[in-house]
Amino acid sequence: MKNFSTVATRAAAVALVACAFAAPASAAECSFRPNAPDQHVVVKGDTLWDISGHFLQNPWCWPQVWGMNREEIRNPHWIYPGQIIYFDRSRGRLSLTRPGSGGDGRGEPPITKLSPQVRTESLERDAVQSIPAGMIEPYLTQPLVVENDELAGAPRIVASQEGRVYLGTGDRVYVTGQLQGGKTFQVFRPGTVLKDPQTGKVLAREAAYLGSVTLDKEAAPGVDAHTFRVTETRQEMGVNDLLIPMPPSPVRNYVPHAPAHTIDARVMSIYAGVTYAGQSQVVTVNRGSIDGLDVGAVLQLYHLGKTVPDPASKGVLGFRKQQIKLPDEQYGSLFIFRVFKNVSYGLIMQVTAPVEVGDVARSPE
């Protein structure tokens, strides 16, 4: 990753803004870098975050300088290696066409003579991604967060083939519970409780991913258990472990952008249970889709301002001195890459100080 510093009622409100894009940021917020180049040739390995850093002070301004709408933010299949991005200084815009040459600036994907189906798949695979996929790949497909409603109805392993304790690929397991038409499931074990730092409410649990199983045969009349076969093992799995349906293919192409409306979140946990986190580590925050967060949203990270005694005030008769609340200190940014109902995962981007549980993560100001 380039150019990083090293060292991280709701539903009704969301409904009102679900079809709208975030309000345009101010000119100061969306200013270009003083040393922004006139153009940049996109190369393999570039990311939208990197390219944005060449031109813009803040990466979440990317949609504004391209005039993108919400659908284009979700599916930005239009920047590829080999293309040239131009800085149109007179309009304050980025473009895929040279300034003064006409056109809307969006450009077109590279021409290819392959069949339409193959061409679409090839271009999507080659399109520039927001952030390096390798950093977040494990978090996209594994059930690292399981919310309370999923736990309550999750199918459960009740027995294994010939009573085996250690299960391997190809072994049979027997499962009870409603499958809801599912055929392929991930196996997990509930772990650390994730509590909202602001309310103390349990929002979800972290989950240890154990592997995956595939349905062999549903329970026949008079039989209580379904028969599954183990298709992958990552950790030891066994009786009482739970199943969750295999998630759909994750969204990998998305544009860094400000949230659709104001978000005021807190860092709930740092993945792997460490106390502090730095650049390129993963954290959870206590906001999700019900709050209007979506994949690609960028939040600013702050240390909560401390409350200190006023040195000019004097304690009288044992009373404390007057207290002064210091401002929150902004020190970095967080890229949201996976969103659940009440919880989201974010990748720590530029930071100038360590990230701690309880830190603020809010919409760019």
The DSSP 8-state label assigned to residue 297 in this structure reads: B
Tell whether 123 and 37 lie within a shared domain. Answer: yes
Output the pLDDT for position 68. Answer: 83
Q: Any alpha helices (H) in the chain, and if so which ranges? A: 10-17, 48-55, 62-66, 70-74, 116-126, 137-141, 148-152
Output the pLDDT for position 314. Answer: 67
Residue that finishes a domain, picked among 191, 214, 245: 245
**Taking a C-beta distance cutoff of 8 angstroms, is the pair 237, 211 a contact?**
yes
Total structural domains in the chain?
Answer: 3
Tell whether 280 and 346 lie within a shared domain. Answer: yes
Q: What is the mean pLDDT of residues 136-150?
A: 77
Residue 139 has pLDDT above 80, yes or no: no
Q: What type of residue is 8?
A: A
Output the pLDDT for position 17. Answer: 34
More confidently predicted of 98 and 272: 98
In terms of Cα–Cα distance, which of 173, 142, 169 is closest to 233?
Answer: 169
What's the pLDDT tens digit per position in 10-34? 443 333 333 333 333 433 468 899 9
What's the pLDDT tens digit per position in 309-334? 887 776 655 566 788 888 889 999 99
Residue 3 lies in a domain: no
Residue 2 lies in a domain: no
Residue that finishes a domain, picked among 84, 107, 136: 136
**Positive or negative: CA dihedral 290, 291, 292, 298:** negative
Residue 91 lies in a domain: yes
Tell whether 116 and 185 lie within a shared domain. Answer: no
Output the pLDDT for position 77. Answer: 62
Domain membership of residue 322 as a residue range: 12-19+258-365
Residue 250 lies in a domain: no
What's the pLDDT tens digit per position in 157-207? 999 988 787 788 999 999 999 998 999 999 999 888 888 988 999 998 888
Residue 119 has pLDDT above 50, yes or no: no
Tell whether 121 and 155 lie within a shared domain. Answer: no
Q: What is the mean pLDDT of residues 298-303?
A: 95
Residue that finishes a domain, picked among 181, 210, 245: 245
Output the pLDDT for position 319. Answer: 63
More confidently predicted of 38 and 6: 38
Tell whether 57 and 108 lie within a shared domain. Answer: yes
pTM, entire model: 0.76
Tell whether 54 and 79 lie within a shared domain. Answer: yes
**Taking a C-beta distance cutoff of 8 angstroms, is the pair 351, 332 a contact?**
yes
Tell whether 118 and 188 lie within a shared domain. Answer: no
**Taking a C-beta distance cutoff of 8 angstroms, is the pair 53, 4 a contact?**
no
Tell whether 100 and 36 lie within a shared domain. Answer: yes
Which string of DSSP letters, residue by residue, matches 238-266? -TT-EEEEPPPPPP-----B--SS--EEE
Tell whether 149 and 117 lie within a shared domain. Answer: no
CATH number for the domain including 276? Answer: 2.40.10.410
Output the pLDDT for position 218. Answer: 95
**Taking a C-beta distance cutoff of 8 angstroms, is the pair 295, 254 a contact?**
yes
Output the pLDDT for position 292. Answer: 92
Tell whether 108 and 149 lie within a shared domain. Answer: no
Helix (H), strand (E) at residue 216: strand 202-217
Least trusted range by pLDDT, from 95-104, 167-176, 278-287, 312-321 = 312-321
Tell whether 149 and 232 lie within a shared domain. Answer: yes
Tell whether 226 and 282 lie within a shared domain. Answer: no
Residue 251 lies in a domain: no
Share of the chain above pLDDT 90, in %: 39
Output the pLDDT for position 174. Answer: 96
**Positive or negative: CA dihedral 61, 66, 67, 72:** negative
Residue 1 lies in a domain: no
Residue 363 has pLDDT above 90, yes or no: yes
